[in-house]
Structure 1
């Protein structure tokens, strides 16, 4: 029997170049909701969550990508892998489950324009 609900860790990625991200945990996430529904929920939750600095609350996130699955190998990248976008970026119109999200999945939430710019020139700054 498949589990309908999951615990997901979400990285709010503000800057790929500066490796600036904040992890958040979401419990009891319904896996049969669409990607758009989950993004809307997360944006509302982030804007209201206490303890998050304002730059993270007000950022224009628009895309989610799977970083890591439970019991799977992790990438060496500190923020997220730049590979397998076709397979790992969550597609609009699909359910979380259909995109491969399961219990204890780790996701990145970021702005696609920033990601494309970083992917074209993956240089980090400190």
Structure 2
């Protein structure tokens, strides 16, 4: 299978809607989620134009936001629904997790997500 393009949304703050998209080309869907997380961490550590707060943040969880040609959520950062289905599990491959060409995934800290989900208020 040919490598695909995956957009990773680096979520720094849910409350402040602070995120940055990063496009990764040539992603193999046969790698595990754990390997992909490490690939993204390595990429953002040296990516030019990415502010230091996004580079050094302790991201640890990925969740599918959007599939190509599918409906998008109305949430500005990401949907709070279907966690069991959409949060990627480390032992699975990207393909088994439902990632395909032009999938958009959020990369965030699980602790921040849980706090925001318990009290989903935004700060402007």
TM-score tier, shorter chain, comes to: over 0.9
Contact 1:9/1:24 (8 A) holds in 2: yes
In the alignment, what sits opposite 2:85?
87
Distance in 2 between the 1:32 and 1:4 partners? 10
Q: Match of 2:92, SS?
A: coil
Aligned equivalent of 2:103, options 102, 105, 121: 105
Q: Match of 2:121, SS?
A: coil
**What is the TM-score normalised by the length of structure 1?**
0.97
In the alignment, what sits opposite 1:64?
62
Count of residue correspondences: 124
**What is the TM-score normalised by the length of structure 2?**
0.99
Q: Match of 1:45, SS?
A: helix
Q: Match of 1:79, SS?
A: coil
Report runs of 4+ in structure 1 exceeding 2 Å deviation.
none
